Structure 1
Amino acid sequence: MMSSGTRKGWAPREFPADRAAAERLREWLKESDGKGLDAVGLDFSAADLSDGNFSESWFTEAKLVGTNLTEADFYRADLEGADLSGANLTNASLVRANFDDATLRGATLDGADLVKASLYDVDASGASFRGTRLMGASLLDVNLCGADLTNAVADENSFKVKIDEKTILSGFSGTVFGPVEVLTEEGTEELGGGDLEQWIRERNGNVRVIPSRAGRQ
């Protein structure tokens, strides 16, 4: 039998400091209907929610700045417009999650599973995606300047992103649809096809750029 204040044996290691967020989380932990957490607009910054199951939950416009979300499950969760600056999402399950308009600046997503996730107009500058599974995820208008994609894996990803000389691409592999915007000291350059493949190879990555479904690269 589930004890009071837990949800299938899980409880946060540290509740959010914000009273409204903490109260909503406590209420949800006591519910037995199995529904996702309605955390729309609430502030969970600096909480420790590691290992939590937030499948099909709503974190729309929520604040998760510096929140520990290690190995948490966000399957089909809605994080549209959420601020996850500096959050720790190491080994998190983010399959089919919606991150449109979210902020992932400086976040850690090492080993996370972003298969078929949606990232549109996302600021992920300085974020770490080491070993992240990006297969089938849509990355459109995503800022990856200064991000670390060491050993990340893509598979037919929409990859219209912004990168720069500080973006780490060592071991980045798979297939992507381009083009990307490359910021250099000379300005901004759009690269696609073989030019993008070569640019990534020069940085010890091995990505094949495939034509878009419209027949363009």
Structure 2
Amino acid sequence: MLPTDPEAARELQEWLSTEDSSLFGVEHDFRGADLSGGDFSGSWFTGANLSGVRLARANFYRADLQSADLSGADLSGADLVRANLDEAVLRSTRLDGADMVKASLCQVDARGASFRGTAIRGASLLGVDLRGADLTDAVLFRNSFKVTFDDSTVVRGLTGTVFGPVTLASGDSTRQLGGAELEAWIRERGGQVEVIPPGSPETTEG
């Protein structure tokens, strides 16, 4: 299904009719489209509007999604390995079962997003708002993890290793959680995460 926006639809049709491997969708409006299963590896969606778009099982390997609006989009099972999602909007986005290994998420609004069973190993999450997000059974591994949680953030079954600290928001107040305190907070809610201390040999490994 093509986007309702004529310019975006034309760009997509031209890309489909050629052998170009990358789609140039910078600042295009793809709302109304169903792009499930598409191969968009290395494509450019910088500043694009993908709100509510179906992108299940799509391939975004090394794609640029910086500042893209993906609110309410369905990215379940998508390949987002090494994708650039800096400053993207992921509010209420479905990322269940997605592969986000080594993806970059800096200054991202992911409130209410679903990461159930998502592989987030080696990804950088810096300044990511995860209030109300669902991280059930998500897997972390040596993640930079400077994120914001609140009491509605679900961490049941969350496993792996992270570099903290995490900001815990409660009403108008916030506090920092790191080390054993962060491990205990997650454990009390059904997760099992190890917080790697600064200066650990693991922090210098490639």
Which bin holds the TM-score, normalised by the shorter protein? over 0.9
Q: Take 2:172 and 2:89, find their aligned partners in 1: how far apart are those partners?
A: 27
Q: Take 1:18 and 1:85, find their aligned partners in 2: how far apart are those partners?
A: 18
Match of 2:3 in 1: 16
Aligned pair partner of 2:25 in 35, 39, 56 = 39
Aligned pair partner of 1:173 in 153, 159, 173 = 159
Give the aligned residue type for 1:119. L
Aligned pair partner of 2:48 in 56, 62, 65 = 62
Unaligned 5+ residue runs, structure 1? 1-13
Q: Take 2:14 and 2:77, find their aligned partners in 1: how far apart are those partners?
A: 27
- Three-state SS of the structure 2 residue aligned to 1:162 is strand
TM (normalized to structure 2)?
Answer: 0.95
Post-superposition CA distance 1:38-57 (Å, at most 9, x none): 00000001310000000000
Q: Take 2:190 and 2:42, find their aligned partners in 1: how far apart are those partners?
A: 37
Runs of 4+ in 1 over 2 A off after TM superposition: 212-215
- Match status 1:29 vs 2:31: no
- Match status 1:206 vs 2:192: yes
Post-superposition CA distance 1:158-183 (Å, at most 9, x none): 00000100000000000000001001
Q: Take 2:199 and 2:27, find their aligned partners in 1: how far apart are those partners?
A: 37
- Three-state SS of the structure 1 residue aligned to 2:60 is coil
Which entry has the higher C-alpha Rg, 1 or 2?
A: 1
Give the aligned residue type for 2:7. A
TM (normalized to structure 1)?
Answer: 0.91
Give the aligned residue type for 2:15. W
Deviation at 1:15, TM superposition (A): 0.4
Q: Take 1:100 and 1:185, find their aligned partners in 2: how far apart are those partners?
A: 26
Deviation at 1:30, TM superposition (A): 0.8
Q: Take 1:156 and 1:38, find their aligned partners in 2: how far apart are those partners?
A: 32
Give the aligned residue type for 2:73. A
Instruction: Work out the number of aligned pairs and report it.
Output: 202
Q: Take 1:85 and 1:204, find their aligned partners in 2: how far apart are those partners?
A: 27
Deviation at 1:35, TM superposition (A): 2.6
Match of 1:113 in 2: 99
Residue identity (%): 57
Deviation at 1:212, TM superposition (A): 3.3
1:73/1:213 CA distance change after superposition, 3 Å? farther
Deviation at 1:186, TM superposition (A): 7.2
- Match status 1:71 vs 2:19: no
CA RMSD across the alignment: 1.4
- Match status 1:100 vs 2:86: yes
Q: Take 1:106 and 1:214, find their aligned partners in 2: how far apart are those partners?
A: 35
Post-superposition CA distance 1:145-202 (Å, at most 9, x none): 0000000000000000001000000000000000010012472110000000000011
- Three-state SS of the structure 1 residue aligned to 2:182 is helix
Unaligned 5+ residue runs, structure 2? none
Match of 1:10 in 2: none
Deviates more, 1:159-168 or 1:184-193: 184-193
Match of 1:128 in 2: 114
Match of 1:197 in 2: 183
